[in-house]
Chains A and B, each alone.
Chain A
């Protein structure tokens, strides 16, 4: 008897023995537990609570059993109040049909007696009550044994690959088990109900057939046919394989800023594969190549495609790569092994904006020219002019460069603070300690890296 209260492989020998005795007391001959265990071991039956038709018929053949009683303990608990539940099935081995069943649960709460006399307190007390109550419904007439019908069973099927390309070899393996005595049947496969491939007997019950996948794409149902010398036939559907010669169709959607036909990024770039006609993917490979064509990052995996990829401008060993142009390649394979690849060029730009400041005197003012030399457009720029004591003289800002700003000539020295950010997010902060020095030199280019501070 199976005992689910002990987990999926639980067994309850005490209950088995009790039921054996209870059934024997009804005048039935019960096959010994040793013989049953030996039968289970011989047939490698590793589970309890259910059987398939083959083993039911096999029990009839090997043990001479007319009926099989299967049982499952559905619950067995002691606290807070003992409770016990079980299910019984009676199977007639003649036709492998379940002819009777019963289930019952009982708690000690349902067994209260006046003054508490002879009340059950444990599952051991409840178990006999449940078994007796269930067996009281045992069918009076458990029926005549019907003729055993001719029978074969598929022990296992290996259809090989279900998705295949034209010209590839398909191999189908079938393991049969039979309780019929006599000559083995002729085994063949029928594809699309027309083409027939005889299966070669490789072992006692192991049959195999191989054939070349046809040119025409589409589904091909495979049926198994058995023909006995007596002329009797049996057929069943094994499965379907599909011929597919088309590569998956997809595009790689890059999330970044498009500059001069290339998608540029500073921190990370997202690549989202989009399929106009979605189909399952069995394998993928994501790689990044530099301008010389050398692969600097590669990742591949069996299984479905991630919904998106991102690259942080690093190599496979996580070291940062230099600014420049790179190529992102994504290869995908469908279930039949058809490959498709999409390649996209990207530009990594981490440098801060390259800016030129020019100042000249014009009457009582200083005119400051701010220019951008980089290719990346500005998101914004902002400027402050401060006196020695920190008081604000003037502010200016905008989104477009070049720009001209009129500044008053300071009485003493004046500090100039410039902040800018390009549309990729690269930032710069520039500090000119005295704007008069800028006027004297006329021009300053904001290029040296040690003067500029990058912000991440």
Chain B
């Protein structure tokens, strides 16, 4: 399933031979084994490419208000702001101001919790000067108390849409828990939904960039 199992096994066999050579060497290798094991934890987001990206360079991009399918208050706004911050940090796109997107939603009478229809998407694209938009839904956001710590959980579904045709170009699903990032002892564990959203946004955008989403700003 995963190459990490073999690595761990190999390291453990190696450890047996090295015990006699000293405790320090053993501890080092044991730590290495745990680090290798932890690398199995976080997995990449899933990505489905439904249609090709536009041929021309994408300079400007708009992120539509996300939908909230959770009981967590303001889950969509929280993830929206963090995802947008990560997109700005990537430095590859001219990002449409959230207020401009909301203005067009208001003009087109698209109520909160609704997505633009085909024709509205075309108008939205023209008004904001964008060829593609990102839409998303927060499917799960929770903070599960475990003893004295909290294990945050987040699942999101994001889509890249063509404003001209309203077609979904790419769609991505990503679910992580704070515990998935544990390395050694409590190191690496993500304790807050903010950090988890930040981490997951990085992973989603990293995957998109690796798979060919390119901006025009260097």
Which residues of A are interface residues toward B (Cβ below 8 A)? 4, 7-8, 49-53, 55-56, 72, 74-75, 80-81, 83-89, 91, 96-107, 109-110, 153-154, 156-157, 236-240
Chain B residues with CB under 8 A of A83? 150, 191-192, 194
Mind listing 24 A-B residue pairs with CB under 8 Å?
Answer: A4-B73, A8-B74, A51-B99, A52-B97, A52-B103, A72-B77, A74-B193, A74-B194, A75-B194, A80-B148, A81-B149, A83-B150, A86-B194, A87-B81, A88-B85, A89-B88, A101-B89, A103-B81, A105-B195, A107-B191, A109-B149, A153-B103, A157-B107, A236-B126
Residue of A nearest to B74 (CB): A4
| Residue interface bits B187-207, CB-to-A below 8 A is 1, else 0 | 001011111111000000000
Give the distance in Å from the alpha carbon of A223 to the alpha carbon of B99 in the complex: 22
Interface members, chain B 51-81 (any A CB < 8 Å):
73-74, 77-78, 81
Which residues of B are found within 8 Å of A8, using beta-carbon distances?
74, 77
B180 proximal to A (CB < 8 A): no
CB of B150 within 8 A of CB of A104, answer: no
Contact A240 B74 (CB under 8 A): no
The interface centre, meaning the residue of B107, B186, B192, B196 with most chain A CB atoms within 10 A of its CB, is B192
> What's the least CB distance linking A369 to chain B, in Å?
69
* A237 CB to nearest B CB, Å: 5
Q: How far is the CB of A208 from chain B (nearest CB, A)?
A: 16
Please tell me if the beta carbons of B82 and A74 are within 8 angstroms of each other in the complex.
Answer: yes
Contact across chains for A102 and B89 when beta carbons are under 8 A apart: yes
Q: Are A104 and B126 touching (Cβ within 8 A)?
A: no
**B100 interface hit (Cβ, 8 Å):** yes
A236/B77 in contact, CB under 8 A: no
Chain B positions 90-136 with a Cβ under 8 Å from a chain A Cβ: 94-95, 97-100, 102-103, 106-108, 119, 122-123, 126-127
Chain B residue nearest in CB terms to A96: B97
Decide if A89 touches B107 in the complex (CB within 8 Å): no
Contact surface of B with A, Cβ cutoff 8 Å:
73-74, 77-78, 81-82, 84-86, 88-89, 94-95, 97-100, 102-103, 106-108, 119, 122-123, 126-127, 145, 148-150, 186, 189, 191-198
Contacts of A236 in B (CB 8 A): 126-127
Residues of B within 8 A of A109 (CB): 148-149, 186, 189, 191
- How far is it, in angstroms, between the C-alpha of A267 and the C-alpha of B74 when the chains are bound? 49
Contact A52 B88 (CB under 8 A): no
Closest to B75 in A: A4
Indicate which residue in B74, B94, B99, B193 contacts A55 across the interface (CB closer than 8 Å).
B99
Q: Which residues of A contact B84 (CB under 8 A)?
A: 89, 101
Interface centre among A7, A87, A97, A156 (most CB of B within 10 A): A87
Chain A residues with CB below 8 A from B88, complex form = 89, 98-101
The winner among B119, B186, B196 for most chain A CB atoms within 10 A is B119
B94 — which chain A residues lie within 8 A by C-beta? 97
Can you name the residue of chain B whose Cβ is closest to the Cβ of A55?
Answer: B99
Q: Which of B86, B103, B108 contacts A103 (CB 8 A)?
A: B86
A103–B85 contact, CB under 8 A?
Answer: yes
Shortest CB distance B133–A (Å): 16
Look across to chain B and name the residue whose beta carbon is closest to the beta carbon of A52. B99
Assembly CA distance A106 to B194 (angstroms): 8
Q: Which residues of B are found within 8 Å of A157, using beta-carbon distances?
A: 107
Closest to A85 in B: B194
Nearest residue, chain B, Cβ from A222: B123
Q: Are B149 and A80 in contact (CB under 8 A)?
A: yes
CA distance A109 to B179 in the complex (A): 13
| A80-B144 Cα distance, complex, nearest whole Å | 11
Q: A81-B149, A85-B192, A156-B107 are in contact. Are A103 and B198 (CB under 8 A)?
A: yes
Query: By the criterion CB–CB under 8 Å, are B198 and A98 in contact?
Result: no
Other A-B contacts than A74-B193, A99-B88, A103-B197, 7 sampled, CB-CB below 8 A, are A49-B81, A81-B150, A83-B150, A85-B193, A86-B194, A103-B82, A104-B195
Is there an interface contact between B148 and A50, defined as CB atoms closer than 8 Å? no
Chain B residues in 8 Å Cβ range of A238: 123
CB nearest to B86 among chain A residues: A103
The 9 closest A-B pairs by CB, nearest first: A85-B194, A105-B194, A52-B99, A105-B192, A107-B191, A50-B98, A101-B85, A105-B195, A101-B88
The answer to whether A237 and B192 have CB atoms under 8 Å apart is no
- Name the distance in Å between B192's Cβ and chain A's nearest Cβ: 3
